[in-house]
Amino acid sequence: MCNAPSPWSRLRGLEPMSLCDWPGRVCAVLFLGGCDLRCPTCHNFHLAWYSQDDPCLSRIHILEILARNAPWLDGLVVTGGEAALSADLPEWLAELHARLSLPIKLDTNGMHPAVLERCLALRTVNLVAVDIKGPWDKYPLLTGNRVSAHQARASLHQTFKLAEHYPDRFLFRTTLVPSLSPEDIQAMSMLPPSGHTLHTQPYRPFQGRHHKEKAC
């Protein structure tokens, strides 16, 4: 269920320039606090689980920075945490798009297809990057028991249907965490819908790096 507060009240971080969050583009990155999952390998766990400990960023200040930098940016990335926890994410993205005229990429765990569907219908996102955690039967292990195999399959199948409808707007990826076997990775490669590839990225153990100091 998507019942988190508005994205403005979840905003905890801004990276004014990133070269690695949207391949081929110079982007700004906005970080929204809060996540419904508890992945044991999460690198952004403070942002995802304890964001209430940090102050919310000023809406006016963030819009000023983004508007000033927009002329030399190629895009805006919205990540978390899990951005799609907020039911009004589509309207929030529409506001950003209207103010900045920048393409928007949204990172998501794929568990909130109804919010994604509205984002796509409103044409507020240019690319949705979906993390597939593992084969269905390993979802409880990989998400801190927040998602059952049945829930994972149901949510991601809805997400895959959206990808079939908007084939140019989706990217599927997975992080090769230690609990995934070669057989798991082989099985996962068959999950995305026709025409899509599952992109893999290496797992790097957490070494205390803050979410605004990303390695790439």
Q: Which of 28, 48, 89, 125 binds ligand SF4 (CB under 6 A)?
A: 48
Strand blocks (E) in the chain: 11-18, 27-32, 75-79, 104-108, 127-131, 170-176, 198-202
Q: Which of 11, 12, 77, 82 binds ligand SF4 (CB under 6 A)?
A: 82
- Which CB sits closer to ligand SF4, 32 or 73? 32
Distances (CA, A) of 79 to 17, 110, 180: 14, 12, 24
Q: Which of 26, 42, 63, 141 binds ligand SF4 (CB under 6 A)?
A: 42
Q: At what angle do helices 149-165 and 113-121 cross, to 10 degrees?
A: 10
Confirm if 109 and 82 have CB atoms less than 8 A apart.
Answer: yes
Alpha helices, DSSP H, located in 4-145: 7-10, 45-49, 59-69, 89-100, 113-121, 139-142
Does 13 sit near ligand SF4 (CB under 6 A)?
Answer: no
Q: Which of 4, 37, 78, 156 binds ligand SF4 (CB under 6 A)?
A: 37
Tokens of 136: 């269905």
Residue 35 CB, shortest distance to ligand SF4, in Å, is 3
Query: Which range binds ligand SF4 by CB under 6 A, 13-21, 79-87, 156-164, 194-202?
Result: 79-87
Does 152 sit near ligand SF4 (CB under 6 A)?
Answer: no
- Which CB sits closer to ligand SF4, 42 or 62? 42
Does 109 sit near ligand SF4 (CB under 6 A)?
Answer: yes
Is residue 51 classed as helix, strand or coil in its secondary structure? helix
Query: Site size for ligand SF4, by CB under 6 A?
Result: 11
Q: Establish whether the linkage from the previous residue to 75 is cis, with ω within 30° of 0.
A: no
- Give the interface with ligand SF4 as residue ranges (CB under 6 A): 35, 37-39, 42, 44, 48, 80-82, 109
